[in-house]
Structure 1
Amino acid sequence: MFRYIVRRLLQMVLAFFGTTLIVYALMFAGQNDPIQALAGERPVTPAQRAYLTEKFHLDKTGVDGFFYRYFDYIKNLLQGDLGESLTGRSIGDILSAAWPVTAKLALIAIGVAVIFGVSAGVIAGMRRGSIFDNSTLVLTLLVLGVPTIVLAPLAQYLFGVKWQWFPATAGSDPSFYALLLPGIVLGSLSLATALRLTRTSVAESLRADYVRTAKSKGLKHRRIISVHVLRNSLIPVITFLGVELGNLMSGAIITEGVFNIPGVGFNLFRGIQTEDGPLVVGLVSVLVIIYLISNLIVDILYAVLDPRIRYE
């Protein structure tokens, strides 16, 4: 296990540098004039342009200039300095203000997927072909067929504006209740996928030889389900939820934009709009680290759920 973790950590380092290099290249290579894009239609004085050009090393052009800025950014990042956005605000301060909001939103979404999706998937798998099973399959198909860009405004209008069950927008300092509706919207796609994945996995496990052997030994049905079926069925579900948690932590740009949530996705989208390269790269770098760590935790959990799995 120790050798496996060390090997995965080395792979994570390579993946981190490769991802940040690609994002850095895409963000800065496609910029025409980031300073003017940030200012919009307002004129930029020569003094302001000279200051920002020197501060962000924009005067260095070509391939050499690109790699100079990239390695300078990596050096500061390894020292815990995410740098500053083109507005002059510390990216660390932006992230510290946005991160708790996105974390709450992601936890609500993953909680909805686990509580309702996995539970319903277990019941549907155990009662395959029943009315409940067929109903959940139809509902999940409907949810998966509707994109978030349609589902989020529709839920906002129905539950926030028309019926007023939830706040229509979250605001600058959203409470748990204000994040509940966008969290449900964000977790609906994960819920549908987790339900279908759990249902298929449970149904396959119930037909396995070890389940028939356990039944022939006279074990109680509850013990067969809880110890044998669920433990093996949850392995692919844990894989999905681990990857999905990293995706949810990425900020859910559409959901945060529709419900006016000042989270990571909202700031990331704003940085892309204004061509604020340092802000976009800084946020993406932190999200890549979270995504890699969540995948490592999922791999380690494999051995906990299934003793047959050993990493040599």
Structure 2
Amino acid sequence: MFRYIVRRLLQMVLTFFGATFVVYALMFANIDDPFQVLAGDRPITDSQRAELNARFHLDDGFFAQYWHYVTALLTGDFGESLTGRSIGDMLAQAWPVTIRLALLAIVIASVIAVGAGVLSGLRRGGVFDTVTLTLTLVVLAMPIVVLAPLAQLIFGIQLGWFPPTATRDANLYQLLLPALVLGTLVVATELRVTRSSVAENLRADYVRTARAKGLAPRRVVGVHVLRNSLIPVITLIGVDIGALMSGAVVTEAVFNIPGVGFNLFRGIRTEDGPLVVGFVSVLVIVFLVINLIVDLLYAALDPRIRYE
């Protein structure tokens, strides 16, 4: 186990530097004139432009810029955005909001997906299974850029069931509608994977043996079938957390939630390279850590899995 964790940590380091390098390259390759974008119609003098270029190392070559960024990042310094704000302070303000939103979304999606997926797998071919599969197709066909403003218009503005926007100190009720919208990104896939896994394990030899021994159906499903069926679902949930973080860009922008996605959207729109790269770097770290935790959970779910 120890050797496996060390090997994964080394892989995570390589993945982190590779991902940040690609993001850094793509972001700064597309920058035209970020200072003029931030200034709007106001002119920028040559002395101001020279000072800003020196401050953000934009006069240096690409590899020199990336080296300045990485060395500062290793010391915990995320730098400053082009507006002069500390990216570390912006992360400290934005992350609690996004974490609450993402956790609420993944809890809602997991409860619905696992519950409905188990029932569909147990009643494969029935009415509930057919209706569930149809609804998941509809959800998969609805992109979040359409679903988010539609849900805000119908349930937030016209019906008034939920607040149409949320603040930084939003409670669970204010985040419920954005979380439901965000959860639709992953609920259909998780449900289908759960259904397929349950249906496959119901035909396994150990399930037939458990039934032949006279175990109660509830124990057969709850202990033998569900435990083994959760392995691919747990894998998917770990990947989905990263998808929820990226999907929060649209959701937070629509519902005006000042989280990570909202800041990323604003940074991309204003061509604020340091802001975008800093926030994406933290997202990469979160994604890598979550996937390591998911891999380690395999052994807890299935005793047959060992890391040598």
TM-score > 0.5 by shorter chain = yes
Matched, 1:207 2:207: no
In structure 2, what is the equivalent of residue 221 of structure 1?
217
CA distance in 2 between partners of 1:29 and 1:114 (Å): 39
Render the CA deviation track for 1:225-266: whole Å, top value 9, x for unaligned: 111101110000000001111222346111111111111011
Supply the AA of the counterpart residue of 1:293. V
Does the 8 Å contact 1:105/1:179 carry over to 2?
A: yes
Does the 8 Å contact 2:299/2:305 carry over to 1?
A: yes
Render the CA deviation track for 1:259-286: whole Å, top value 9, x for unaligned: 1111101110111111111001000000
In structure 1, what is the equivalent of residue 140 of structure 2?
144
Equivalent residues in 2 for 1:138-217, closer than 5 Å: 138-217=134-213
Relative to the length of structure 1, the TM-score reads 0.96
Bigger shift: residues 119-128 or 83-92: 119-128
In structure 1, what is the equivalent of residue 117 of structure 2?
121
CA distance in 2 between partners of 1:206 and 1:175 (Å): 41
- Taking a change above 3 Å as real, the CA distance of residues 155 and 87 of structure 1, as seen in their structure-2 partners, is same
CA distance in 2 between partners of 1:287 and 1:172 (Å): 19
In structure 2, what is the equivalent of residue 85 of structure 1?
81
Equivalent residues in 2 for 1:254-293, closer than 5 Å: 254-293=250-289
Supply the AA of the counterpart residue of 1:285. S
Q: CA deviation at 1:53?
A: 1.1
| Number of residue-to-residue matches in the alignment | 308
Render the CA deviation track for 1:91-149: whole Å, top value 9, x for unaligned: 01111111111111101110111111111111111111221111111111111111111
Q: CA deviation at 1:158?
A: 0.9
Q: CA deviation at 1:54?
A: 1.0
**1:99 counterpart (95, 100, 112):** 95
Does the 8 Å contact 2:185/2:244 carry over to 1?
A: no
Supply the AA of the counterpart residue of 1:217. K
CA distance in 2 between partners of 1:206 and 1:42 (Å): 68
CA distance in 2 between partners of 1:38 and 1:262 (Å): 19
- Taking a change above 3 Å as real, the CA distance of residues 163 and 310 of structure 1, as seen in their structure-2 partners, is same
Q: Which runs of 4+ in 1 moved over 2 A?
A: 45-48, 171-175
In structure 2, what is the equivalent of residue 29 of structure 1?
29
Supply the AA of the counterpart residue of 1:27. M
Does the 8 Å contact 1:251/1:264 carry over to 2?
A: no
In structure 2, what is the equivalent of residue 5 of structure 1?
5
Taking every aligned residue pair, what percent have the same amino acid on both sides?
Answer: 68
In structure 2, what is the equivalent of residue 243 of structure 1?
239
Matched, 1:49 2:49: yes
- Taking a change above 3 Å as real, the CA distance of residues 2 and 145 of structure 1, as seen in their structure-2 partners, is same
Gap regions ≥5 residues in structure 2: none
Does the 8 Å contact 1:251/1:263 carry over to 2?
A: no
Does the 8 Å contact 1:102/1:263 carry over to 2?
A: yes
CA distance in 2 between partners of 1:249 and 1:19 (Å): 16
CA distance in 2 between partners of 1:261 and 1:93 (Å): 17
Relative to the length of structure 2, the TM-score reads 0.97
CA distance in 1 between partners of 2:164 and 2:31 (Å): 35
Supply the AA of the counterpart residue of 1:92. G
CA distance in 2 between partners of 1:113 and 1:249 (Å): 14
Q: CA deviation at 1:172?
A: 4.7
CA distance in 1 between partners of 2:52 and 2:300 (Å): 52
Gap regions ≥5 residues in structure 1: none
Does the 8 Å contact 2:16/2:285 carry over to 1?
A: yes
Render the CA deviation track for 1:273-300: whole Å, top value 9, x for unaligned: 1111100100000000000001101110
- Taking a change above 3 Å as real, the CA distance of residues 172 and 301 of structure 1, as seen in their structure-2 partners, is closer
Q: CA deviation at 1:48?
A: 2.2
Q: CA deviation at 1:33?
A: 1.9
Does the 8 Å contact 2:182/2:247 carry over to 1?
A: no
Does the 8 Å contact 1:128/1:203 carry over to 2?
A: yes
CA distance in 1 between partners of 2:88 and 2:149 (Å): 31
